[in-house]
A and B are shown apart, each in its own frame.
Chain A
Amino acid sequence: MSEAVARRSPLRHLLQENKLTGVAVGLFGLLVLVALLAPSLVPHDPLATNAAHSVEPPSAQFWFGTDEVGRDVFSRTMVATQLDLGIALSAVAISFAIGSVLGAACGFFGGWLDRITARLVDTLMAFPLFLLAMAIISVLGNSTANVVYATALVNLPFYIRMARAEAAKLRGSGYIEAARLAGMGPAQLLTAHVYPNILPPIMVQISLNLGWAILNAAGLSFIGLGVRPPVAEWGIMVADGASLIVSGAWWVSLFPGVALMLTVLCFNLIGDGLRDVLDPRRVT
């Protein structure tokens, strides 16, 4: 039995152990497909307004109905996938790239670099995350790029801390000692032996973080920070429908809201599945 488990590839193991994770991976594939293809496939122009079709319920012509200025909710929801996924992926990529390298260096070398970074991390963590993101965007100005920077900066401390803790744990381990005795320099040790080995636990963090980053970006645009209307973005679309839902027009908010929810759920399920495989001690 244990031999069979050992021989299975990690991905197959992941999918067979937990059916839900398999579903989530499938959903992620679908999302990527939609993000890539939607702009050229949707039936209507996501930005085209049409006063004759204002706030119409779902129909054969408008599958998800229309919003207050007559834009097609289906086309907008699909097209927004690209922007929302893009924001989350780039924000997480930035915090991962900077955070893991800086954290690993801090944990491995220690010293003044570590002390200064620790102070900066503590200061960032003293703020409630979403409010810090709000403040940063109000300084930098409303734009999609600034949402990415703010989200990346707010997440940075988690990557630094995690990479630092893992690297500090590895520093004294036997195989590092052996490589050092074999004549490897510190920079080579860090890049060849420490950095690759801190990555698995960080992968889990990345997946869970992607979900959070999308929620964060959508929340910011919901309150009018960041992505600017009339661009199709899930948070803005939910906000567009907020005043209509009290009078019964549920479709304007519902479809982008559900898309947002499914995407976040997808990342969280993948993260849980990854954790079960990569870090069996923390299975809950």
Chain B
Amino acid sequence: MASASLWRYAARRVLLALPALAGVVVVTFVITRMLPGDPALYYAGQVDSFASVDEIRHRMGLDRPLPLQFVAYVDDLAHGDLGQSLSTGQPVGRELIQRLPASFELMASALSLALLIAVPLGVMAATRPGSWIDHACRLIGTAGVSLPTFFTGLLLIYVFYYVAGWAPAPVGRFPSFMRPPPSITGMILIDSLLAGDLDKFQAALGQIALPALTMALFALAPLTRMTRAAMLGVLSSDFVRQARANGAPRLHLLFVTALRNGLLPVVTTLGMIASSMLGANVLVERVFAWPGVGSYALDAMVSLDYAPLQGFVLVMSVVYVLINLGIDILYGVIDPRVRFEA
């Protein structure tokens, strides 16, 4: 019966996400139409003589009323058409898909690293309020959100590449002198493991270490802070005291009984963290010349080529809406109570 209520809850959440998606599409359409530069003029300069700008504008549908243009825009989107990059001549949609795995690999590694550090740290701080680890935790919570990602990235490069020499040159996701493993998932860490090539795995790990650490430091602060605050609340509650009185083993008590309840507020902050990580990703990709979607949009923007930027913002915003949807549903899985709220 519990699963039926979960399905109903999930379906309602999906319906609630639709207006947000529609809003994203409308706003990106408005942004496209307001962007500087006249695409018809650009094509006219490339293909035809200047005399036919009006004709090209007509062919591209730019002389039609805005509502009609919007319908055409949505129709294009439905066919996965995000326009063409002027600098590479390739469809933006295809190029974004090619570069998405690199960005995803970076963000997933960073988030896992942040969770692996933040959750145990927050739990330990909550079990010993006032201890040095608690103070360290509060310090991380405040100092961490004050770090400019692009600056920490450069500092890490200076320390680990220039001074210590431990990290490889901070350019890209794979050393240029090696052949990357055959692309299956597009994520080099996973592809090299699938190919059973540990040397390549190690090389890719070396490349991703610093950018992932840079982003993890950024996500660490709010995660540690929330875990600590949530666990403080849960640990002083009756059901934890009861479990302790019944003789539950300490680790089980902390990480199973208490953490499952303490995770709720942490899961809600994940949405906020996703928003800031999608933004930080652009900066980190720029610093480490990481060939993901963020660098793609920035590189295009420099040459006043706006279709990639606009496609990037659209795709990332859709991803963000979907992440929030996933978090809402996860919330329903962890806490059955929310499924029955109006």
Contacts and interface: CB of A to CB of B under 8 A. Distances in A.
Interface string A107-126: 00000000000010011001
B306 A223 contact: no
A139 B28 CA distance: 11
Closest 10 CB pairs of A and B: A130-B279, A123-B23, A257-B151, A265-B146, A128-B278, A126-B20, A264-B146, A284-B229, A128-B275, A135-B313
A250 interface: yes
A132 interface: yes
B322 to A, nearest CB: 11
Contact of A268 (B142, B161, B280): B142
Interface stretch (B81-89, B254-262, B281-289, B326-334): B281-289
Chain A: interface residue count, which band? Answer: 35 or more
A211 B276 CA distance: 14
A235 B151 CA distance: 9
Contact of A219 (B149, B275, B309, B320): B149
A235 to B, nearest CB: 8
Interface in B268-308: 274-276, 278-280, 282-283, 286-287, 298, 301-302, 306
A131 B148 contact: no
A284 B283 contact: no
Nearest to B298: A223
Interface of B: 19-21, 23-24, 26-28, 31, 34-36, 141-143, 145-151, 154-155, 157-158, 161-162, 169-170, 225, 228-229, 232, 274-276, 278-280, 282-283, 286-287, 298, 301-302, 306, 309-310, 312-313, 316-317, 320-321
Nearest to A261: B146
A138 interface: yes
Given A141-B36, A218-B148, A223-B286, A135 B157 contact: no
A59 to B, nearest CB: 20
B33 to A, nearest CB: 9
B91 to A, nearest CB: 20
A131 B34 contact: no
A159 to B, nearest CB: 16
Interface in A248-272: 248, 250, 253-254, 257, 260-261, 264-265, 268-269, 272
A119 B287 CA distance: 36
- Main secondary structure, interface of B, reads helix
Interface string A216-244: 00110011110000000001001101100
A130 B277 CA distance: 9
A219 B148 contact: yes
Pick from B27, B147, B279, B306 the residue with the most CB of A within 10 Å. Answer: B279
Contacts of B317: 126-128, 131-132
Contact of A250 (B23, B24, B158): B158
B310 A260 contact: no
B150 A128 contact: no
Interface in A137-151: 138-139, 141
A239 B225 CA distance: 30
Contacts of A128: 274-276, 278-279, 316-317, 320
Given A238-B154, A241-B154, A261-B148, A246 B161 contact: yes
A219 B312 CA distance: 18
A84 to B, nearest CB: 11
Contacts of B278: 128, 130-131
A238 B286 CA distance: 13
A129 interface: yes
Contact of B154 (A135, A136, A242): A242
B31 A135 contact: yes
21 contacts: A123-B20, A126-B23, A126-B317, A128-B275, A128-B316, A128-B320, A130-B280, A132-B313, A132-B317, A134-B313, A141-B36, A211-B146, A222-B286, A223-B282, A223-B298, A242-B154, A245-B157, A253-B151, A264-B145, A264-B146, A269-B142
B23 A138 contact: no
Contacts of A254: 155
A215 interface: yes
Given A123-B27, A215-B148, A238-B154, A131 B276 contact: no
A234 to B, nearest CB: 8
Contact of B151 (A119, A225, A261): A261
A264 B19 contact: no
B31 A219 contact: no
A276 to B, nearest CB: 12
B276 A130 contact: yes
Contacts of A130: 276, 278-280, 282
Contacts of A136: 31
Nearest to A211: B146
Contact of B19 (A119, A224, A248): A119
Contacts of B162: 245-248
Contact of B35 (A127, A138, A218, A219): A138
Contacts of A265: 142-143, 146
A95 B1 CA distance: 47
Contacts of B282: 130-131, 134, 223
Contacts of B143: 265
Contacts of A238: 148, 150-151, 154
Given A138-B306, A245-B158, A246-B170, A127 B24 contact: yes
A257 B306 CA distance: 29
Given A245-B158, A246-B162, A253-B151, A211 B302 contact: no
A173 B35 CA distance: 48
B279 A223 contact: no
A261 B154 CA distance: 13
Nearest to A247: B162
